[in-house]
Amino acid sequence: MPDTRTVTMCDDGEVPATATSPEPPAPPTGGWIATSSAGRAVLDAAAADPDGTLLAMDLDGTLAPIVEDPDDAEVLPQARAALELLNNRVATLAVITGRPVRRARQMLDLDRPGLDRIVILGQYGVESYDAATGRMHIPEAPPVVEQARRRLEHAVVVAASSDPGTVGTMVEVKEGAVALHTRRAADRELAWSVLAPTARRLGRELGLFIEEGREVVELTAWHTTKADALTGLVERTRPSTVLMCGDDLGDLPALDVVAGLIEKGGHGARVVSWSAEQPTVAGRADVLCDAPPGVARFLEELARRIGAEHLGIGE
């Protein structure tokens, strides 16, 4: 396979241009760029068959900017607005996240109208919520998760007394999972090097599954991945076009599902919210977006293309 690729600029209605780059190209500021033939074809495919289109999205780092305290994370208003446009334009609009469904609902502000067809698969698909029916499924967490929380919090306190640079490390409690976040630590690298191995050891000892993302180790009672969640949706809805948007290592299995569908002749795209911290993920993109604002722009364009097709305006 050549290590160069042709790219198409797709921001602000610019005239498409092509270029070659030995590295995955950076998307334009606040915009997006198609980096493969699948990426260049996906808007046409979705516009041609919106009733066969499945759009699945990660939440943090994709629709909501990464912030120091995960409790402060919010979906970008422009991303929320684009999702509202897509709510009635694609067959399936889904959010697949490591967050619990309840928190994802808050972040998406589902008390406000506009997203009455969204499906949320929380905790990598362990939990689910279907806005169309109001049905919510949240299984009860086993006691070992509470044990993990206590011991992880204790480890954080002990580390803070011997390594002050780890102060600020947080333990997030979820239903069925507990997560260590080192992003807010005084010395993030130190906190990660001291506490991430502790969390992994604890996970192994307690028989919990270990999921890792950007400066986060999550210990979870259920072994599911975003690939399982996305595959379940694909099997239920049988789409002709599948778009999965993500930014982090935890999204890679789901992005690989899309790659498999494309290889089999289906339409789709791996839409990646670009982050300097995760170049591995950017290397898998068919569409590369400049962080959540770029994702929002891509979603706006997807909505516009589907809407234009429906109204017979065309391109």
Nearer to Mg ion by Cβ, of 194 and 196: the residue is 196
Nearer to Mg ion by Cβ, of 82 and 194: the residue is 82
What is the C-alpha to C-alpha distance for residues 286 and 278, in angstroms, rounded to an integer? 16
What is the C-alpha to C-alpha distance for residues 195 and 105, in angstroms, rounded to an integer? 30
Nearer to Mg ion by Cβ, of 33 and 281: the residue is 281
Q: Does 84 bind Mg ion (CB under 5 A)?
A: no
Q: Is 64 left (phi over 0), alpha (psi -120 to 50) or beta?
A: beta
Max CA-CA distance within the chain?
67
Nearer to Mg ion by Cβ, of 58 and 218: the residue is 58
Copy the structure tokens of residue 299. 């979603």
Interacting residue with Mg ion among 175, 248, 290, 301 (CB under 5 A): 248
Picking from 254, 260, 259, the residue whose alpha carbon sits closest to that of residue 228 is 254
Number of residues that bind Mg ion (CB under 5 A): 5
Binding window for Mg ion (CB under 5 A); candidates: 139-147, 194-202, 241-249, 263-271 = 241-249
Nearer to Mg ion by Cβ, of 220 and 240: the residue is 220
Nearest residue relative to Mg ion (C-beta): 61
**C-alpha separations of 221 from 5, 64, 110, 202 in Å:** 41, 25, 27, 13
Smallest distance from the beta carbon of 246 to Mg ion, in angstroms?
6
What is the C-alpha to C-alpha distance for residues 160 and 163, in angstroms, rounded to an integer? 5
What is the C-alpha to C-alpha distance for residues 313 and 225, in angstroms, rounded to an integer? 40
Q: Reduced to 3 states, what is the DSSP secondary structure of residue 280?
A: helix
Nearer to Mg ion by Cβ, of 45 and 257: the residue is 257
Binding window for Mg ion (CB under 5 A); candidates: 120-128, 169-177, 246-254, 285-293 = 246-254
Smallest distance from the beta carbon of 247 to Mg ion, in angstroms?
4
Q: 236: Cβ–Cβ under 8 A, 6 or more apart, which residues?
A: none
Smallest distance from the beta carbon of 61 to Mg ion, in angstroms?
4
Copy the structure tokens of residue 97. 């996240």
Q: Does 247 bind Mg ion (CB under 5 A)?
A: yes
What residues numbered 7-66 form the site for Mg ion, per CB under 5 A?
58, 60-61
Residues that bind Mg ion (CB under 5 A): 58, 60-61, 247-248
